[in-house]
Every structure is written in structure tokens, then in C-alpha cells.
Amino acid sequence: MIYNRDAAVEYAEKWAYSRNPAYYDFSEIGGNCTNFASQCIYAGSGVMNYTPVYGWYYISVNDRAPAWTGVNELFRFLSTNRGPGPQGEVVPLSDIERGDIVQLKFGFGSRFDHSPVVTDAGSGTPETVLVAANSRDSRCRPLSTYNYTELRPIHIFNVNPQR
């Protein structure tokens, strides 16, 4: 299946400064960025993966996969998924497209901290790539305005259909 980048970006732009009431808002308990990114990816893919523990799904606040709300868990899911749902791969920032994710690391450990959604790929530089995010709500924010130590551009290249 083809990932609908326009639908993902439309969703990101609609909900960047508010919250979709169909999903719990995690802003006060660790952050809402990956929950927001997952919602955008779902808007573009239309397929969840209900595999317990290692899948990517949201049914309710108490019934969801770790990958739905965890930065590093989302990366693990997208980069290893062979079942239903979206598939992603790390690419150079210059190869990023609208609807993709750019995860950011703010410290020097091994874990990434933030999952903004690309709304405009520009020319593929931190100054021209624009993102939307929740927690610290933003829309059309240049990547260069974040104080990150490392970035991980994740390109959604496929969506496997529900079996």
C-alpha cells in the first residue's frame, strides 16, 4: 500500500496546537510527541499492527503498544516491521519527505527524545525542513531551531496491508 503523505501532513497541521479527543494526551506524563507522530502516521497509513508488545496500535490509554507512544520503540517498530502497518528506514536528511519523522536526541545517551513530523521537506537541510509536534506544540517549525545533539530521519517507505 502507498503511504498517503498528504493525509499525514493534513492531520499534523490540524492537530499541532490542539489534541484529538479520540486519543489520550500524554503531555503531562512524559510528553505527547510520539503519540502525535503515531496519529499522523496512522492518518497516512490507515493500518495498525496489533501484535502484542512489539506491534504499533492504540485502542485506549491502557491498551496500546509501547511503539505508539515511545520514541525509541517507534523507531524499532518502523525499522523492523514485517507485518501489517507502516515500514520505515533511516535516510539522510536530504532524502526526507513530507509525512516522515525526524527523531531528535537532546543529550548524549543512546536514547532519542522527540519525534516531530515533517510537514515540508524543503531542500533537506535543518534550516528548510519544517516540522509539527506536540508537547511543545509547533507547526512549520524549522529543525534548526531545536537544540539537538543528533537527528534520525525516518522515511516511511511502505505500508503493509492488514492480514
Q: Which residues pair with 103 in a beta bridge?
A: 152
Q: How far apart are CA 80 and CA 87, in angstroms?
A: 7
**Is residue 69 scored above 90 in pLDDT?**
yes
Task: Please tell me the pTM assigned to this model.
Answer: 0.96
Closest Cα partner for 152 from 99, 112, 106, 119? Answer: 112
Query: pLDDT of 95-128, one tens digit each?
Result: 999 999 999 999 988 999 999 999 999 999 999 9
DSSP 161: P
Alpha-carbon Rg for the chain, nearest whole angstrom, is 14
Whether 95 and 155 have beta carbons less than 8 Å apart is answered as yes
Q: pLDDT band for position 74 (50/70/90)?
A: very high
The predicted structure's pLDDT at residue 135: 86
Q: Which domains does the chain have, with CATH numbers?
A: 5-160 (3.90.1720)
